[in-house]
């Protein structure tokens, strides 16, 4: 396993991040525990979750599964850099109750304590804002975070799905307050097929010393060899991938991608992950395996070296927008 610093911090994290969103809804507790054991055995020490995972009436279930895994002992908790998120409504009995969502000081305090209880731990290593909250000023957010850091309940703060200007606003507010650590990471949608983060989000993250943690590295399965799998009678595309393939132009693009990788003798999903590992500013992509086999495939991406020829060909198929303002101006 390869490790890197998380942004400007001294924290060492693995270059693959174990995403746990499927734990509970699609993967039962026993299999989830087995995947976490296998990830730890492979050297993955960075685990990502969110308080809303489990979804619907089962919100919080994923954190509980991680907590029951920690409870097995064996140094599991101390070996893991644990990241979770706050924003979604966690109202009682599944109700969308006021002040049980977003980033008010009231909800942040409540949400941290609830996550700690479900996770069965005394601290969250990286506490991430799952979305921007347009109604809550950053002064209030950082005041709440400062208290939690002083209490030892969280160690670092990160963002998710923030535009570049909000990353700047958050960290400029932190700098003005003094003594506030500010954001140390940004978790964003970023992959070969979705490169808009390169315009402003990633440059802002790099300028402010944030580690970039891409989610959906296979773009909902679209970059995992979906056309070939369909032709071989495997799992059919669904959701975002199915919608994209319904567009003849987009389908032609994905077919070109799969044909290129077949020519080079590499697997699509592993290549998509390996490509992200070459990108400036990227700490590590989040992989969310439903099975042990999917985890093993993700691990193979760490050993995959992409040639300059292949990287250039991938850019031809999936050209990035380029930095701003050149992407939309001169």
Three-class DSSP category at 157: strand
Distance (Å, whole) CA 208 – CA 275: 23
- HSE toward the beta carbon, residue 108, CA cutoff 13 A: 24
Task: Say if residues 84 and 49 touch (Cβ distance below 8 Å).
Answer: yes
| C-beta of residue 48 within 8 angstroms of C-beta of residue 36 | no
Tokens 């070459």 -> residue: 278
Maximum C-alpha span of the chain:
58
Q: What's the full length of the chain, in residues? A: 330
Give the list of residues 6+ apart from residue 232 with CB closer than 8 angstroms, or none. Answer: none
Cβ atoms 59, 94 nearer than 8 A: yes
Q: Show Cβ contacts of residue 236 under 8 Å, excluding neighbours closer than 6 positions.
A: 229, 230, 242
Catalytic member of 53, 127, 190, 208 = 53
- Rounded Cα gap, residues 33 and 11, in angstroms: 25
φ, ψ for residue 46 (rounded to 5)? -110, 110
DSSP string of 256-285, one letter each residue: HHHHHHHHHT--HHHHHHHHHHTSTTB---
Interatomic CA distance for residues 44 and 319, integer angstroms:
31
CA 91/CA 88 separation, integer angstroms: 9
CA distances from 328 to 199, 200, 279, 325 (A): 10, 12, 22, 6
Give yes or no: 53 in active site.
yes
Measured distance CA(189)–CA(214) in Å, rounded:
6
Q: How far apart are CA 25 and CA 53, in angstroms?
A: 8
Residues labelled as active-site residues: 53
């Amino acid at each position: 396993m390869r490790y890197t610093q998380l942004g400007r911090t001294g924290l060492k994290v693995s270059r693959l991040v174990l995403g746990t969103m499927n734990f509970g809804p699609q993967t039962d507790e026993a299999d989830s525990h087995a995947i976490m054991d296998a990830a730890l055995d492979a050297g993955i020490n960075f685990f990502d979750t969110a308080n809303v995972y489990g979804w619907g009436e089962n919100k919080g279930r994923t954190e509980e599964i991680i907590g029951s895994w920690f409870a097995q002992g064996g140094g599991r908790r101390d070996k893991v850099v644990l990241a979770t998120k706050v924003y979604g409504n966690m109202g009682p009995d599944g109700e969308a109750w006021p002040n049980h969502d977003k980033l008010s000081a009231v909800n942040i305090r409540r949400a941290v304590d609830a996550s700690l209880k479900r996770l069965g731990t005394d601290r969250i290593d990286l506490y991430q804002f799952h979305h921007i909250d347009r109604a809550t000023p950053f002064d209030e957010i950082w005041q709440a975070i400062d208290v939690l850091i002083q209490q030892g309940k969280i160690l670092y703060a990160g963002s998710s799905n923030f535009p570049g200007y909000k990353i700047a606003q958050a960290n400029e507010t932190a700098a003005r307050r003094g003594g506030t650590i500010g954001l140390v990471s940004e978790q964003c949608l970023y992959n070969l097929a979705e490169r808009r983060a390169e315009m402003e989000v990633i440059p802002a993250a790099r300028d402010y010393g944030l580690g970039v943690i891409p989610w959906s590295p296979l773009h909902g399965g679209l970059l995992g060899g979906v056309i070939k799998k369909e032709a071989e009678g495997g799992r059919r595309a669904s959701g975002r991938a199915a919608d994209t393939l319904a567009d003849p132009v987009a389908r032609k693009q994905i077919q070109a991608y799969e044909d290129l990788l077949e020519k080079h003798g590499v697997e699509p999903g592993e290549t998509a992950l390996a490509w992200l590992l070459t990108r400036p500013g990227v700490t590590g992509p989040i992989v969310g395996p439903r099975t042990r086999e999917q985890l093993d495939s993700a691990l193979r991406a760490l050993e995959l070296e992409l040639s300059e020829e292949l990287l250039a060909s991938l850019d031809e198929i999936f050209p990035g927008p380029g930095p701003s303002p050149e992407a939309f101006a001169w």
